[in-house]
């Protein structure tokens, strides 16, 4: 607010100084419009509730790192290439640091996407289609005719001992495959092949040739298999 006030004071004084110079006045007006538009966008980005603190635990509930990381954020249709973000997997909140170091929870309905930690994050809104997961932040792994999304949850747990109780976050991951108007929860290879059964034999050959292992890397296994399924379907 101080910067904006000083800037507006500069505009007023400059306006008086160059009142008889139309060219200078037009230049100042143009600069003022651009500045205030930018300030308005920033005020939208940093408007919201402050993040509440977490209980003391032996680990953290954030995606990859508890520290804020530079991310590419699209918010309310405006792209911010170097926003400082972190994703709280326990409370399902995307948090940004403001210029005055406040930690602001972004309104999920305004989040178009965020790119951080090599993940493309979207806010999924639950719908009435069969199998639809609950609303929340998801990792969009594939967005073709078949869509693959990943949900990571952090649930608080505790260990009791004779002397103390330790609290910690336990992480779990679920994968959803959207195909033909239905969301399928993919828990294993069998479940994936059941959804993609028209090309089951071809997909097994593809998986074997590329040495894909479901248990070692579920994300890569599901994503590459679905992409191959789409290629095979296009050739029919």
What is the SS3 assignment for 128?
A: coil
Q: What H or E segment, with its residue span, contains residue 60?
A: none
pLDDT tens, position by position, 78-99 = 899 999 999 999 999 999 998 8
DSSP 135-167: SEEEEEEEESSSEEEEEEEEEEEEEE-SS-EEE
Can you tell me which residue has the tokens 């590419």?
A: 72
So what's the pLDDT on residue 198? Answer: 85
Give the pTM: 0.80
Query: Mean pLDDT throughout 54-83?
Result: 93
The model's confidence at residue 160, banded by pLDDT at 50, 70 and 90, is confident
pLDDT tens, position by position, 174-211 = 999 999 999 999 999 999 999 998 899 999 999 999 99
Q: Name, in order, each residue with C-beta under 8 angstroms of 173's C-beta and a sequence gap of 6 or more.
A: 150, 151, 152, 153, 218
The CB-side HSE value for 164 (13 A sphere, CA atoms) comes to 4
Q: Are 104 and 98 in contact (CB under 8 A)?
A: yes
Q: What is the DSSP letter of 82?
A: E
So what's the pLDDT on residue 162? Answer: 61
């Amino acid at each position: 607010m101080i910067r904006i006030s000083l800037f507006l004071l500069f505009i007023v004084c400059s306006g008086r100084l160059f009142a008889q110079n139309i060219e200078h006045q037009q230049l100042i007006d143009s600069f003022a419009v651009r500045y205030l538009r930018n300030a308005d966008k920033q005020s939208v980005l940093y408007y919201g509730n402050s993040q509440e603190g977490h209980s003391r635990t032996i680990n953290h509930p954030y995606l990859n790192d508890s520290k804020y990381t530079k991310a590419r954020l699209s918010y309310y249709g405006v792209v911010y290439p170097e926003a400082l973000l972190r994703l709280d997997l326990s409370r399902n909140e995307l948090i940004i640091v403001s210029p005055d170091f406040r930690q602001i929870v972004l309104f999920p309905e305004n989040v178009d996407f965020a790119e951080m930690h090599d993940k493309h994050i979207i806010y999924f809104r639950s719908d009435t289609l069969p199998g639809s997961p609950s609303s929340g932040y998801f990792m969009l792994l594939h967005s073709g005719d078949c869509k693959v999304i990943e949900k990571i949850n952090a649930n608080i747990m505790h260990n009791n001992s004779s002397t103390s109780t330790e609290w910690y976050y336990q992480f779990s991951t679920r994968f959803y495959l959207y195909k033909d108007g239905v969301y399928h929860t993919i828990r294993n290879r069998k479940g994936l092949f059941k959804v993609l059964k028209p090309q089951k034999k071809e997909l097994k050959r593809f998986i074997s040739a590329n040495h894909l292992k479901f248990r070692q890397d579920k994300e890569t296994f599901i994503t590459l298999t679905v992409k191959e399924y789409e290629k095979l379907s296009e050739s029919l």
